[in-house]
Structure 1
Amino acid sequence: MEQTLCCYRHPDRETGIRCTRCERPICPSCMVSASVGFQCPSCVSESNSSHHASQPRTVAGGRVGHGDPFLVTKILIGLNVAVWLLELAVGNKLLTDLGLYAYCDSPPYNNVCGGVANGEWYRVITSAFLHDRTNPAHIGFNMLSLWWIGAPLEQRIGRWHYSALYLVAALGGSAAVLLLAPDSLTIGASGAIFGLFGATAVYMRRLRYDMRPIMILLVLNIIFSFTWANVSWQAHLGGLVAGTLVAIGMLYAPQRRRVLVQWGTTAAVLVVSLALTAVAVAQVTS
């Protein structure tokens, strides 16, 4: 059973929220809104009174970036839209040249291989920036999801953590596709976006927020993945697992050796994703 928390300044008031700096439980009366969650009056006072206060940090321990807090998300959306517009101009060439698949013809066809099985490993990441040029809803829905889920998450965990999370989730999605459906041409940012869904759930759990909204949204998207035609549930599943694991390492890392644990976890998930991709290719080529 989960332990009931009481505000450290008002012991008679139960709460589920912690200060993002000192992690002490605080009630609504003590919650001071900050750029990354809520802080307690003591931490706010300490920050304001010190002329040499350290630079503000996110809940993941990263420095709060100057300027636009949603910069990486905007760049990712811009890249996806630019590639889609290029697809409109050149036709299906980008899909065949950069989309994700792996196959080998069996004898007597001389084992001719294509895609990742032909050494074109760049497809595991380039495919995450491609969308169906004949279906504007494909890129439209993905980019709206990226903005609604990604932008707040970028602000709360920081640019570098967010960028690494997105990349590894995309590669996790690609690994799952190659393991489970290697001969199907797969494109789209949804694998990485599902990783952001998982990371958001971890973030909300970490700060003891009400998780029902994000869990309902996640369940609906999972149902959508398995019931709609031409949707790669393999990419969604792989991205969700990879993004969730990376987020757990980032948000639950202990204060001591936090950086080592965070980036060690990220590197481990990355290595596993690439290793699974290698196993998938070996199966196709054997």
Structure 2
Amino acid sequence: MTSADPRTNPDNFCYRHPDRQSFVLCQRCLRTICPECQTPLPVGVICPECLAEQQKGARSAEVRRMPGRFARKLRSDRPVVTYAIMIVTLAIYLVQLIPVVGGAVTGALAFAPPYVVPGSGAPFEPWRMLTVALVHSTPLPFHVALNMLALWALGRSLEPLLGKARFLALYALSAIGGSVLVALIAPGSAVVGASGAVWGLLTAMLIIGRHVGANILPIAILLGINLVFSFVGAGVSWQSHIGGGLVGLLAGFVFARTRAQNRQGLQALLLVAVGIGLIAIAVTVPGLLYL
């Protein structure tokens, strides 16, 4: 039987502050709460624990209702694709440093225009337009270091904004774009490196930042510095840089113009068209040089 003296009845004291007497109950759990622990609601008051549980449920429901990239951004903004590309690229670079084996790996993944021209005398291996981004010049360790540093800096912002699949598509298309321009302008050269892919990320960031109202001045300055380095640096394939940058501009424009949820199908179609177009150009146009 309940005591008539409220000081001996624990139900008349705040469950979070046992020394504070109260006769107010939480609307959800019906536990006694003192004025400090009360949060007023339209239908009564609620205790801190029930309030936290209610807010957590509201956030989960909001994430489920939000479309596309915004929901993905709330669920996870870790740039896992960026980290994965960095890990694979650095692992392959370490393999490249191994005598004999490293040379074989470089030779299997590097790009040269004859590999995409049927009948040129070289094996037809168009995938090299993409795998070129995984290998780097071993005598120049700063080559892979600068590319991975730029990938890390850009990927942390761009991947959560675009989503993992779009970011990976942008990186791949930019790498292919760099190889295509090498095939068109420098048919006698052989190239390695992720510079074309990184430049694509940089120029896409420039376009997307412009459309969302971000401050693009730092990106423009970085782009200008890289542009100068591309033309004056010894052994640097400026064709790869420019080719990847042009594709990044195009892809960034596609992303910016098809942000609405009802245009996601069109966005995917346009990106596929860009990829098919790049491969078609690389396979057909340089072939005229070998006739």
- TM-score of the superposed pair, with normalisation by structure 2: 0.72
Name which of 166, 170, 177 aligns with 1:161.
166
Shift of the alpha carbon at 1:124? Answer: 1.0
Name which of 81, 85, 91 aligns with 1:76.
85
Cα deviation code 1:27-57 (max 9, x no counterpart) = xxxxxxxxxxxxxxxxxxx998576324386
Question: Contact 1:203 / 1:251 at 8 angstroms: preserved in 2?
Answer: yes
Cα deviation code 1:128-163 (max 9, x no counterpart) = 100011211111111101101122111111111101
| Matched residue SS, 2:64 | coil
Gapped regions of structure 2 (runs ≥ 5): 1-54
Shift of the alpha carbon at 1:284? Answer: 3.8
Name which of 176, 179, 182 aligns with 1:177.
182
Amino acid at match of 1:102: P
Cα deviation code 1:233-276 (max 9, x no counterpart) = 11111111111211211122163631122112211211121111
Shift of the alpha carbon at 1:285? Answer: 3.0
Number of the residue aligned with 1:113:
121
| Matched residue SS, 1:53 | helix
Q: Go from structure 1 to structure 2 and tell me whether the alpha carbon gap of 1:207 and 1:276 turns closer, same or farther (over 3 Å shift).
A: same
Mapped partners of 1:242, 1:112: distance in 2? 26
- TM-score of the superposed pair, with normalisation by structure 1: 0.74
Mapped partners of 1:94, 1:264: distance in 2? 34
Question: Contact 1:56 / 1:64 at 8 angstroms: preserved in 2?
Answer: no
Amino acid at match of 2:153: W
Name which of 215, 218, 236 aligns with 1:231.
236
Number of the residue aligned with 1:95:
106
Number of the residue aligned with 2:95:
86
Amino acid at match of 1:69: R
Which is helix-richer, 1 or 2? 2
Shift of the alpha carbon at 1:279? Answer: 2.1
What percent of counterpart residues are identical? 31
Q: Go from structure 1 to structure 2 and tell me whether the alpha carbon gap of 1:57 and 1:265 turns closer, same or farther (over 3 Å shift).
A: farther
Question: Contact 1:194 / 1:240 at 8 angstroms: preserved in 2?
Answer: yes
Mapped partners of 2:247, 2:73: distance in 1? 24
| Matched residue SS, 1:63 | helix
Q: Which stretch shows the higher mean deviation, 60-69 or 143-152?
A: 60-69
1:131 pairs with 2:136: yes
Mapped partners of 1:279, 1:113: distance in 2? 15
| Matched residue SS, 2:242 | helix
| Greater gyration radius | 2
Name which of 227, 243, 247 aligns with 1:242.
247
Cα deviation code 1:176-217 (max 9, x no counterpart) = 111111221100001000000011111211111222111011
Cα deviation code 1:66-123 (max 9, x no counterpart) = 456110000000010011011111232222222111349xxxxxx8622xxx312121
Which is strand-richer, 1 or 2? 1
Amino acid at match of 1:83: I
Mapped partners of 2:198, 2:137: distance in 1? 17
Mapped partners of 1:232, 1:148: distance in 2? 22
Number of the residue aligned with 2:10:
none
Gapped regions of structure 1 (runs ≥ 5): 1-45, 105-110
Mapped partners of 1:232, 1:58: distance in 2? 41
Q: Go from structure 1 to structure 2 and tell me whether the alpha carbon gap of 1:112 and 1:205 turns closer, same or farther (over 3 Å shift).
A: closer
Number of the residue aligned with 2:288:
283
> Which gives a bigger RCO, structure 1 or 2 (Cα 8 Å, sep 6+)?
1
Question: Contact 1:180 / 1:234 at 8 angstroms: preserved in 2?
Answer: yes
Q: Go from structure 1 to structure 2 and tell me whether the alpha carbon gap of 1:204 and 1:271 turns closer, same or farther (over 3 Å shift).
A: same
The alignment's C-alpha RMSD in Å is: 2.6
Mapped partners of 1:139, 1:218: distance in 2? 18
Q: Go from structure 1 to structure 2 and tell me whether the alpha carbon gap of 1:86 and 1:54 turns closer, same or farther (over 3 Å shift).
A: same
